[in-house]
Structure 1
Amino acid sequence: MRRKDREITDFAAMRQIVEECGCCRLGLVDEDGAAYIVPLNFGCEVEGETLTLYFHSAQEGQKITLLRQNKIVSFEMDTGHRLVPGPKAEEYTYAYRSVMGRGTVEFLQDPAARLHGLNCLMAHYTRRADWPVSEGMLGATAVFRLRVTSWTAKEHKVCLLYTSDA
């Protein structure tokens, strides 16, 4: 990381950023070697200092095809966006908090594991982890987890020093 002054290394602080994010972008590689980035809803689980992300999807499509071809993916999440104005163009800046990393995807086959993944996802958005899911929906939905192997976090804190009279 180039800007070490913005790096966050405390695991609890990194996890807090994940908890505040509403979207996770997965970075995949398509058949031509080009980047394929897809925004997804997600759930997360922490065991010790290991982060696991859960996702759901239709059973088929470009994302699923690419994930089955290459299980190693990158991810990115960000939150806390705020434009901070300055008196001159070069003094404008942008506040944010972000995490990014990589890991390995695994499609869940066991119904109990799939339900667990979906409930982690629901808990991220609703703070409730005991949602009933019909067998039909469970069978029609692809559920996969990303075991994070490496990740970093960054924060650009900005104090508002300039106020406009306008």
Structure 2
Amino acid sequence: MRRKDREITDFAAMLAIVKECGCCRLGMVLDGGAYIVPMNFGYELEDGALVLYFHGAQEEQKVSLLREQPAASFEMDTGHRLVPGAKADDYTYAYRSVMGRGTVEFLQDDAAKLHGLNRIMDHYTRRDDWTVEPPMLHATAVYRLRVHTWTAKEHIVP
């Protein structure tokens, strides 16, 4: 990280950024280049490590890519605010962000899939007791990214 003065190393503060974010950009490799998809997500801590949950159709490009190569990257950001200045080079931008890498695992068992979907729903609704009918549960790919490394930074401007 180039700007060490903006780095956040406190785990609780890093997790607070994740909680504030509404979108997680999931990065994969396609034809030797980056393939990035904005996703709804959920999260939890498992043995003190961050785990992210995603869902989608069983047959779609990102699912195929992740089944072939389960290593993935992610990025989230929040708190965006343009801070004007007297001159162009005085302008700056306030933000908070996290990014990292991990390994994707597709959930197979209905209970695990429902748990993942409820983590996603809890992130957006603050409720985690949803039910999903079996046909929908079977038609949905639910996967988690076990985060191996991640960093956070913020640029807070008064």
Measure, in 2, the Cα distance between the counterparts of 1:47 and 1:3. 29
* Paired residue type of 2:15: R
Partner of residue 90, structure 1: 89
- Listed as ranges, the gaps of 5+ residues in structure 1 are 160-166
Partner of residue 14, structure 1: 14
Partner of residue 35, structure 2: 36
- SS in structure 1 of the partner of residue 65 of structure 2: helix
Partner of residue 66, structure 1: 65
* Paired residue type of 1:7: E
Matches within 5 A, 1:1-166: 1-30=1-30, 32-159=31-158
* Paired residue type of 1:12: A
Residue 11 of structure 1 contacts residue 49 of structure 1 at CA under 8 Å; is this kept in 2? no
Measure, in 1, the Cα distance between the counterparts of 2:45 and 2:63. 25
1:45-101: CA deviation from partner (whole Å, max 9, x where unpaired): 013430000000001111111101110000000000000000000000000000000
Question: Identity of paired residues, percent?
Answer: 74
Measure, in 1, the Cα distance between the counterparts of 2:57 and 2:7. 36
- SS in structure 2 of the partner of residue 12 of structure 1: helix
* Paired residue type of 1:75: F
* Paired residue type of 1:4: K
Change (3 A) 1:55 1:49: same
- Listed as ranges, the gaps of 5+ residues in structure 2 are none
Runs of 4+ in 1 over 6 A off after TM superposition: none
Quick check: which one's strand share is greater?
A: 2
Measure, in 2, the Cα distance between the counterparts of 1:2 and 1:115. 40
What is the number of equivalent residue pairs in this alignment?
A: 158
